[in-house]
Structure 1
Amino acid sequence: MATELEIKLTLSEPAQARALEWLLARPEASEGPRKTLINRYYDTPDAALNRAKAALRVRQAGDRFIQTLKTKGEFVDGAHRREEWEWELAGPELDLSLLEQTPLHGQVDLSALALAFETNFQRQVVMLESGSSVIEVAVDSGDILGGGRSLPLREVEFELKAGEPGELMRWAKALACEVPVFLNLVSKAEQGYFLAGIYRPEILVSSEPLSVTKLLHTLSVSWLTGEPVKLPHTALSAITKAASAAGFDTEWQELNHSLQSGTTTDDLIQKFPELGRLQLALALVG
């Protein structure tokens, strides 16, 4: 078992191309391999893994097959921290025996696992090395397929391989200064579950003050479902303080007005090119 720490940013196709160009031009960068990744995710008919906040997949990269189990984990300082298990396979079929030493054993009927959806994409790897820190950047472009539907996939992921966790945020913020980004808390697996009709998150509105993490998650859910967000002033009071502490008073005032009036995340992304910078700043102080 390993612990994965990463920051995931969603971008438009033109912004992603500019992001890759900018990353490769950094003196700390070295260009890694370009891979075609075919990922098949599995769950039971009653979505037991999804309810357990876990994701199980078999990834094909060339002639290699890797079985991976991930837990939902937690969101800390703008980054996702998850437990992760990986095993090399001889072929594309699940090896259920490998799951016996994981939290799934005894909680899920492993014999009922079946294909739920796929995420298939091209990945360009860029390695960033600065001091003792090593970060793997994955620039992913492709599609998520489930339930007879598809979603375009365009992401840049920063994953810490060694060194200081703060380096993840430093690089994500630097990229956000170059191109418009969206800090997305919805995983590839959650997008697939949504398309397959297994998972449909809802936006819950309360007058109680939202935490930064809750606001970021709400925006991510709206991005996925297209559901509008309309929040009362009282729910945003703590975020106003966090934005001020981060030095983003002006940007937050505009966003705050839109959230109180009612809007979708897609509209916010179009209207506020600085949205990603604000999200990352809030995540760091919140």
Structure 2
Amino acid sequence: MKSPTPMEVELKLALAPTGPAALTQHPYLASHAARKQTLTNTYFDTPQGDLAKARIALRLRQVDGQVLQTVKTAGQGGGGLSQREEWEWQVAGPQLDLTSLAALPPFQGELSGVLDALAPQLSTDFTRRSWQLKEGAQGQQSHIELVLDEGEIISGGYRTPIREAELELKGGEPEALWALALKLAEQVPLRPSDSSKASRGNALSTQHWPLPEAHSPAEWLHRATLALDAYHDSQQASFLSDAQQALIALADHPALDTTARSYAQALPSALDKHGQPNTAYGKAALALAHRLAYQTALR
């Protein structure tokens, strides 16, 4: 099992339909070999959704002939960046290891009584291409795993596509994640995403996509990002309108400095009528998110 206090630091990026091809053809990746895997994942919760309410994800992943059990807690961050506790270990087969699960901090207290009620609730099946990258000057390099996931979420009789990139910090400083993301955004149409695969699946099953109240610039960016995530999974036009309204409120916020405001003002017009970003959106959103990072609790 992983260490008692593991921390996953990750930057999640949703890609436009042309994004995967643009990413794999990016010149920066030309000299790096990609590893390709097929991942089958089952997420567990109680029928009442106790883990979802506690913002905890529990999954079994089948990959490369192994079964891995993973627990992730609620994230802290915003603008695509999240920091969350994560535990992962190999298990013998496609059954939950309840004994090890009971020993983890998230399952102490109120959640200690839900273990016997856990059952499969949703699945995600996707192809993953991954690259191991080094960012930064010699002697101060950070190790980043870049992954491209393409597949689908299946939950409650509904399906929605997975088309995203994740940049996970394996060693070094989080600043390296922003540097790499901005480099990719020069040629890849993308946008920050604040919704995990588990939270997307839970919302899909219930057909309910709540948006948080917003007051600060970081909160308005988070609201806009979640609204775009909700629009693409629900295809409800009201969420695209919510996203545009949040972006306008963000651009008008009195707390923004001149540079941040210029980034925010570029965002509304950089989405097409289908809510898909062009490269201008990705560059401005990431630059702004970088300035506002670590200020929002994620769902």
- Please report the TM-score for the alignment, with normalisation by the length of structure 2: 0.82
Instruction: Tell me if 1:20 matches 2:24.
Output: yes
Contact (CA 8 Å) 1:40, 1:115: kept in 2 or not? yes
Decide which of 1, 4, 10 is 1:6's aligned counterpart. Answer: 10
The amino acid that maps onto 2:265 is Q
CA gap 1:32/1:284 in 2 versus in 1, 3 angstroms: same
Are the counterparts in 1 of residues 45 and 118 from structure 2 also a CA contact under 8 Å?
yes
AA aligned opposite 1:112: A
Change (3 A) 1:234 1:63: closer
Change (3 A) 1:104 1:271: closer
The match for 1:195 is 204
State the secondary structure of the residue aligned to 1:191. helix
Among candidates 136, 154, 161, match of residue 170 of structure 2: 161
Q: Which runs of 5+ in 1 are unaligned?
A: 259-264
Partner of residue 105 from structure 1, selected from 89, 100, 108:
108
Cα drift, residue 210 of structure 1 = 3.0
Question: Take 1:232 and 1:13, find their aligned partners in 2: how far apart are those partners?
Answer: 22
**What 5-or-longer segments of structure 2 have no aligned partner?**
293-299
Can you list the C-alpha shifts for 1:135-164, whole angstroms capped at 9, x where unaligned?
101111001001111101011111011112
Deviations 1:157-189, CA, capped at 9 Å, x for gaps: 110111121110000011111111010001111
TM-score normalised over the length of structure 1: 0.85
Tell me the CA shift for residue 61 of structure 1: 0.3
The AA in structure 2 aligned to 1:252 is A
C-alpha distance in structure 2 between counterparts of 1:62 and 1:204, whole Å: 39
SS at the partner of 2:273?
A: helix
Shift in CA distance, 139/126, structure 1 to aligned 2, threshold 3 Å? same
Q: Which amino acid aligns with 2:150?
A: S
Residues in 2 aligned to 1:133 and 1:67: alpha-carbon distance in whole angstroms: 27
Instruction: State the AA in 1 paired with 2:253.
Output: A
Residues 255-266 of structure 1: pairs in structure 2 closer than 5 A: 255=267
1:67 and 2:79 are equivalent in the alignment: no
From 102, 126, 131, the equivalent of 2:131 is 126
> Which protein has greater RCO, CA pairs closer than 8 Å, 6+ apart?
2
Cα distance in 1, alignment partners of residues 288 and 247 from structure 2: 19
Which residue of structure 1 lines up, in the alignment, with residue 48 of structure 2? 46
CA contact (8 A) 1:43 1:50 kept: yes
Matched, 1:223 2:229: yes
**Structure 1 residue 232: deviation in Å?**
9.7
Deviations 1:42-80 (A, max 9, x none): 001110001101100000003100000000120167521
- Aligned counterpart for 2:147 among listed residues 125, 135, 138: 138
**1:53–1:71 contact (8 Å) kept in structure 2:** yes
Q: Percent of aligned positions with the same letter in both sequences? A: 33
Matched, 1:253 2:275: no
> Structure 1 195/148 Cα, relative in aligned 2: closer, same or farther at 3 Å?
same
Change (3 A) 1:117 1:216: same
Equivalent pairs counted in the alignment come to 272
Q: Distance in 1 between matches of 2:128 and 2:160?
A: 17
The equivalent of 1:117 in structure 2 is 122
CA RMSD between the two structures:
2.7
Please state how far the C-alpha of 1:241 moved relative to its aligned partner: 1.9
Change (3 A) 1:153 1:43: same
Give, as a single letter, the amino acid of the residue that structure 1 aligns with 2:171.
A
3-state SS of the aligned residue for 2:165?
A: strand
Distance 1:24 1:285 in 2: 24
Q: Deviations over 1:19-43 (max 9, x none)?
A: 022166355xx32421100000000
1:241 equivalent in structure 2: 256
- Which of 269, 277, 282 is 2:283 aligned to? 277
2: CA distance, partners of 1:52 / 1:4: 18
Retained in 2: the 8 A contact 1:205–1:231?
no
1:227-278 superposed Cα distances (whole Å, 9 cap, x missing partner) = 2313597665437725x324x62x633546x7xxxxxx77374475422211
